[in-house]
Amino acid sequence: MVSKPHGGTLIRRVSPRDKRETLIEETNEMVSIDVPFDIATDIENIAYGVFSPLEGFVVQEDYTSILYNMRLSNDIPWTFPITLDVSPEEIKGVKEGDTIAIKHNGTFIATLQVEEIYRWDKKRFARHVYRTEDPNHPGVYKTYRKKELLVGGKILLINELPNPFYKYTLRPAETRILFREKGWKTIVGFQTRNAPHIGHEYVQKSALTFIDGLFINPLVGWKKKNDYRDDVIIAAYETLIKYYYPRNAVVFSITRTPMRYAGPREAIHHAIMRKNYGCTHFIVGRDHAGVGNYYGPYEAQEIFSEFPDLGITPLFVKEFFYCRRCGGVANEKVCPHSEEYRVKISGTKIRQMILSGQTPPETMMRPEVARVILSYDNPFIEEV
Amino acid sequence: MEKRGKYTTVSIPVTLYNRIKRVIEGTGFTSVSSFVTYVLREVVASYEEERSAEPFTEEEREKIIEKLRKLGYL
């Protein structure tokens, strides 16, 4: 059975079409703030229930509870505070109880009922959420560049953001119905920020051997330098699915949200998002949502033991490799052979090969997928 | 990680308390309270899940199915 929404209710904070014009007119009288793309996608994700049970940006009670207890103030598991940062100048004259207009690149997208304006300690945020205060961590770096106040309150989405990937963007209400229509009782979610290599494929297919349906759900949005570009990830997966997956067992759809590189906490956040899409299971691999050496290789799996009430079952998987002796892809649980026979399927090595125009070997990446990636001038993010 | 929260007291039979104390020996649970909190969260969440309702009407469902067909998902 499709999973119940996190917190019990699938949130929908989208203005009805017939009220949009009136709301847009009213915003002329409101204080407006322009938000970056990351925040704008947070608003869409709140509005369409990806972040259920959140109905807006967190107020201080929830913020503090998330930081210290990894739960909302009503005890529901929640590990990453979804916040709106502003400068005092931007909200000059705004009081709690007011409604403000939110724009992105000058275009009006939503309203926010201001419940609370509060100060925050960026270092404390970094220490709890990222488990480091090191500004070299990409998430910490972004945190330190944020503004000094946070605004909490419910949002209402009026206009969606332009979306070049519309065809690939399904909302939780849509995936939940889709999974049911397909007759799936169990659905496993796969989070990714990479183009797929053989290791990813075997992780997904291993899960699919005992689960009805696979939901491949890459994150599209801000990522660090040298990660794959969004359009490359989508094209690579389209190719992989076309040639190597049973069509009736897979749904591919994106989530527009930034990678936060918060390791263990982000693994829980990722699982909650997939629960809201209707997944019953969620794959957690080695160093999920990690970066550099900030987290232990299996810390993102261990954290799940703190959440007996998460409502989605994590599937912990070991790394896959190619074993020359087995003559196929395996992992340490099923392969008895020593290191000398094993070829590591390294994302970093694949990246280096692609950058130098080489096709990665078939033991690492499907040739059709490699060809698609190599057809791009530069498949990787250059600047952030 | 430093935890911060409000706590209250719930009474359980001393016999049960002692039984739990024995059960958690050598496990990751540091106290009877942390074990009871863990178990209760699991139980309460499953009760809550049973009660949550479907978020869409039949009309909305049909519209979504039409969209999914157009996009090639169905």
Domains (range + CATH), chain A: 6-157 (3.10.400.10), 166-374 (3.40.50.620)
Domain range enclosing B22: 14-70
Q: A53 — contact with chain B (CB < 8 Å)?
A: no
Q: So which residues of A are the catalytic ones?
A: 193-194
Give pairs for A71-78: CB < 8 Å, separation 24+: A72/A7, A75/B41, A76/A6, A76/A7, A77/A6, A77/A268, A77/A272, A77/A307, A77/A309, A77/A310, A78/A54, A78/A269, A78/A272
Number of domains in chain B: 1
Structure tokens at B55: 């978020």
Q: Which secondary structure element, helix H or strand E, spans residue A204, and what is its range?
A: helix A198-208
B2 occurs within a structural domain: no
Cα angle for residues A56, A288, A152 (degrees, 5° grid): 15
pLDDT, one tens digit for every residue, chain A (384 residues): 899 999 999 999 999 888 888 888 888 889 999 999 999 999 999 999 999 999 999 999 999 999 999 999 999 999 999 999 999 999 999 999 999 999 999 999 999 999 999 999 999 999 999 999 999 999 999 999 999 999 999 999 999 999 999 999 999 999 999 999 999 999 999 999 999 999 999 999 999 999 999 999 999 988 888 889 999 999 999 999 999 999 999 999 999 999 999 999 999 999 999 999 999 999 999 889 989 999 999 999 999 999 999 999 999 998 899 999 999 999 999 999 999 999 999 888 999 999 999 999 999 999 999 999 999 988 998 876
B8 occurs within a structural domain: no
Q: What average pLDDT does the structure give for chain A?
A: 95
B53 occurs within a structural domain: yes
B28 occurs within a structural domain: yes
User: What is this structure's pTM?
Assistant: 0.94
Which 3 state secondary structure label does DSSP give B52? coil
Whole-complex ipTM:
0.84
Cβ <8 Å between A173 and B60: yes
Select the residue from A168, A177, A247 to test the B interface by mutation, using most B Cβ atoms within 10 A: A177
- Nearest residue, CB atoms, A68 vs list B4, B41, B74: B4
B59 occurs within a structural domain: yes
Cβ <8 Å between B49 and A311: yes
B6 occurs within a structural domain: no
Residues within 8 A of B (CB atoms), A 249-268 only: 251
B27 occurs within a structural domain: yes
B1 occurs within a structural domain: no
